[in-house]
Amino acid sequence: MILRHWGISTTIITLVAVAVIMVAATSVLVVYRVNSGNPTTGTGSCCSDASLNLSTPCTAVTPDSPAVQRLEQRIEADPTFIAAEAGHNYTANAGISCGFAINPGSYNGTTVDPEFTYTSDRPYTDNCGYTQNLTYYLLVRVPLTETGYDLSAMQIVPNSSSEITVTCTTNT
């Protein structure tokens, strides 16, 4: 009787173990399908986005565009952008532009250029005497392709409010 009981317990334990393995294998497949980007970075280097490619007119490139918002999210998740943030949390709130970029030795073509900002507590007085907190900018140029955009070719151009020339006017 003990042997028969042992056989039933072993069978039940084996069935439970097989069920757990099957569930775990299914979960791995689901996670892999959900995260379809490059598994080492979480993002792929290129994105097919029918809403944002070489055929997209620059008038359609606005901060409210879902395609632009998806691009900004992919930029924020990119390891190169994270490294450029240098521990600060830059946000995509300084506008976006679109145009033709000529970069000798690099990329020539249409780019989408979102600008990200980080504002510090450090006061800065511009050449007109106006004092504000110092703001740092990361301008990101992303080349457009026929099928989307190429994050592996993006360029990040840092600057700050101290590097921006302000034109002063007086009212008389």
The pLDDT, as a whole number, for residue 35 is 26
Report pLDDT for 85: 95
**Which pLDDT belongs to residue 33?**
22
What is the overall mean pLDDT for the chain?
A: 73
Distance in angstroms (rounded) separating the CA atoms of residues 22 and 6: 24
13 Cβ partners below 8 Å, 6+ apart?
A: none
Q: State the average pLDDT over residues 40-53.
A: 57
- Residue % of the chain over a pLDDT of 70: 66
Least confident range from 30-34, 63-67, 98-102, 167-171: namely: 30-34
**Which has the higher per-residue pLDDT, 129 or 3?**
129
> What pLDDT is attached to residue 167?
86
- Residue 78 clears pLDDT 80, i.e. is over it: yes
Per-residue exposure over 61-73, b if at least 16 CB sit within 10 Å of its own CB, e if not: beeebebbeebbe
Mean pLDDT, range 98-123, rounded to an integer: 81
Q: Is residue 107 over pLDDT 80?
A: no
> Per-residue pLDDT averaged across 29-52, rounded?
41
Q: Residue 84: its pLDDT value, please?
A: 95
Residue 139 above 90 pLDDT?
Answer: yes
Residue the block writes with tokens 């995260």: 35
Sign of the alpha-carbon dihedral angle for 118, 119, 124, 129: positive
Higher pLDDT, 9 or 23: 9
Q: Are strands 96-102 and 155-160 parallel, antiparallel or unpaired?
A: unpaired
Q: State how far the Cα of 88 lies from the Cα of 76, in Å rounded to an integer.
A: 12
Q: Are 142 and 113 in contact (CB under 8 A)?
A: yes
Higher pLDDT, 59 or 37: 59
As a three-state string, the secondary structure of the chain is CHHHHHHHHHHHHHHHHHHHHHHHHHHHHHHHHHCCCCCCCCCCCEEECCCCCCCCCHHHCCCCCHHHHHHHHHHHHCHHHHHHHCCCCCECCCCEEEEEEECCCCCEEEEEEEEEEEEEEEEEECCCCCEEEEEEEEEEEEEECCCEEEHHHCEEEEEEHHHCCCCCCCCC
